[in-house]
Structure 1
Amino acid sequence: MTLNVDAPAPARKTGPRRSSGNRGAKRGGNGLARFDLRATPYFLVSPYFLLFTLFGLFPLGYTLWVSLHDWELAGDKTFLGLDNYTELIADEAFWNAVVNTVGIFVIATIPQLVMALLLANALNKRIRGRLFFRLGILLPLVTSVVAVAVVFTQLYGRDYGMVNWVLSLFGVEAIEWQNQSWSAWIAIATMIDWRWTGYNAIILLAAMQTIPKDLYEAASLDGASPRRQFWQITVPMLRPTLIFVVFVSTIGGLTLFAEPVMFEGNPTMAGGATGQYQTVAMFIVKEGFRDFDMGYASAAAWMLFALILIGILINYSFTRRIGGNK
């Protein structure tokens, strides 16, 4: 007789079962995490857009509204439509300010960018006291524009100015730098170049230091001279930074205000006896706060905005071709 004894089945492990509520909580947690990942970046950048709306978009819209009115600073306000713009287009004083602004911009900006590029390339080399020279080129930037204008006004003085003294050594007669357009443009342009060349050079220098050294080593092995390396490697690799520098210089050059005002000495915003170096920014301030015609000044401000856009587009069309990109 045999006795069969069946082994007991192994007991199943029992444990707390996951309830649907836990699964719902997990799904809710994942949803909250996804919301955080999507919403947090917008939350972090929102202060900039709020400040830009408050101090950027609102003044732009309000200025556009004022430009459509005969809006005196402390008087009546009458809607005119586009009459201010029509009058401005026919205003010889406004176009004289435009010519002065563009002339000073061209004379100042082109040499400034060329010198900044060459200076940055020199500071990128291994030279003694490199840190000293890099800090030194930023000193003009921290100097007060008033102090700069006072010094350069003395340098360009007719009777005792150093510039006229140097020119007299070559037989050149003394120049009244404030009395003619071309001479005033040159004097103001030198002020701008002295103050802002180092700033642009530091930006270009920072971009140069990101260029891989392997490119220069390979070019040297191929027999490329340092000059060729500069034009074939350095300049094309700096194209994005050059575009930025050109944009900033264009905006700063076309909104030029402090240097010509201080160069005038008597800040009537006239830019000389015949307006020979009055810029558009000076014209706007004169119309708004000396002649108290805020509507006309606002229209001139919008015309300056259009001029800046045109200048940026023209400069971008040239700068984007660096490196062979059409």
Structure 2
Amino acid sequence: MLDVRKRSAASPAPPAVTKPRSRWSTWFDIKAVPYLLVSPYFILFAVFGLFPLGFTLWVSLHDWELAGDRDWVGFANYTELLQDGEFWNSVANTFGMFVLATIPQLVLALMLANALNKRMRFRLLYRLGVLVPMVTSIVAVAVVFGQLFARDYGFVNWLLRTDGLDWTADKWSSWSAISVMVDWRWTGYNALIYLAAMQAIPRDLYEAASIDGASSRRQFWQITIPMLKPAIVFTTITSTIGGLSLFTEPVMFAQGDVGGGSLGQFQTVAMYMYENAFRHFEYGYASAVSWMLFMMILLVCFFSFLFTRRIGGTK
């Protein structure tokens, strides 16, 4: 009798019977919860992104005044815009500064990232140093560069031995000065992105290439550049968006003037849009300018993506 009690006491307890989950609970956890978790972003994007975009399109189809009549004009604003010489001047200025700033910026960022990826003394200090321009106030940057490119006492004129060159008076000189400002501010940001991508490349690839006798230059072009393709695509797209919507740097370079110089030498499309909206109060026309800028950015980003995705010999 004792043995029977011992065996019964030592025997494991029967497993607890779990209640099966309802079909509604399973559907909610699998189907509904993921959409609920990501819904805040899409709600905010719809309120602060899609709605302003659609409303701007609606305004561009009207002769819109802030406190006056709002007459429907259809595509008349766009027709007038395509015949506006000042608009095409701003387009030429925007693309000119975009080319002068973006291409050297990405090339310098790639070279800087490759240098920071090597073993050197105070490497961490150098890596932190490239962040300084990005966290510096753009107003402070504009003041400093305004002093550097000053006509009578600027350091750049002294360095180039030029006699009182006014960098804001000529189209090419103003483009160059603003491009230098943009490159100084954003080259370090792109360099850190390239550096992070370089550190993710397996070292085995470089060791195998070294065994095969590949030089450092060939390793850079045959291994580093193809492996950096996603980072290059990302930086190209973001630099394109930032370059074509350039506003703060040229405005501060002109000391707050959105006209871009006496003859509009460096007035960008964003500055022209601001001038029509908040100086002439032509909100319908300014909305048309913004949509034309939006379409130009989409078009250039598309061709930039087609070009950069072929890096490394892939399609």
Task: Give the deviation of 1:47 after TM superposition.
Answer: 0.4
Report whether the alignment pairs 1:222 with 2:215.
no
Cα deviation 1:266-323 (Å, max 9, x = unaligned): x231100000000000001000011000000000000000110111012112111101
Cα deviation 1:203-244 (Å, max 9, x = unaligned): 111111110000000000011111111110001001011101
Report whether the alignment pairs 1:113 with 2:106.
yes
Identify the match of residue 273 of structure 1 among 234, 249, 262. 262
Per the normalisation by structure 2, the TM-score is 0.93
- C-alpha separation between the residues in 2 aligned to 1:54 and 1:34? 29
Task: Give the deviation of 1:31 after TM superposition.
Answer: 4.7
Which residue number corresponds to residue 312 of structure 2?
A: 323
Which residue number corresponds to residue 92 of structure 2?
A: 99
Cα deviation 1:40-87 (Å, max 9, x = unaligned): 221111100000000000000000000000001221110000000000
Q: For residue 214 of structure 1, what is the amino acid of its counterpart?
A: D
Cα deviation 1:190-209 (Å, max 9, x = unaligned): 00000000000001111111
- C-alpha separation between the residues in 2 aligned to 1:279 and 1:249? 16
Report whether the alignment pairs 1:290 with 2:284.
no
Which residue number corresponds to residue 300 of structure 2?
A: 311
Which residue number corresponds to residue 245 of structure 1?
A: 235
**Closer, same or farther in 2 for the Cα pair 1:134/1:75, shift >3 Å?**
same
- C-alpha separation between the residues in 2 aligned to 1:196 and 1:290? 30
Identify the match of residue 75 of structure 1 among 35, 50, 68. 68
Identify the match of residue 26 of structure 1 among 20, 28, 33. 20
Residue segments in structure 1 that go unaligned for 5+ positions in a row:
1-15, 17-21
Structure 2 residue matching 1:78: 3-state secondary structure? strand
Per the normalisation by structure 1, the TM-score is 0.90
Q: For residue 194 of structure 1, what is the amino acid of its counterpart?
A: W
Report whether the alignment pairs 1:150 with 2:143.
yes
Q: How many residues align?
A: 301
Aligned-pair identity (%) = 63
Larger Rg, first or second structure (1 or 2) = 1
Report whether the alignment pairs 1:141 with 2:131.
no
Task: Give the deviation of 1:27 after TM superposition.
Answer: 4.9
- C-alpha separation between the residues in 2 aligned to 1:33 and 1:234? 46
Task: Give the deviation of 1:34 after TM superposition.
Answer: 4.2
Which residue number corresponds to residue 153 of structure 2?
A: 160
Report whether the alignment pairs 1:124 with 2:113.
no
Task: Give the deviation of 1:137 after TM superposition.
Answer: 0.4
Task: Please tell me the root mean square deviation across aligned C-alpha atoms, in Å.
Answer: 1.6
Which residue number corresponds to residue 6 of structure 1?
A: none
Report whether the alignment pairs 1:41 with 2:65.
no
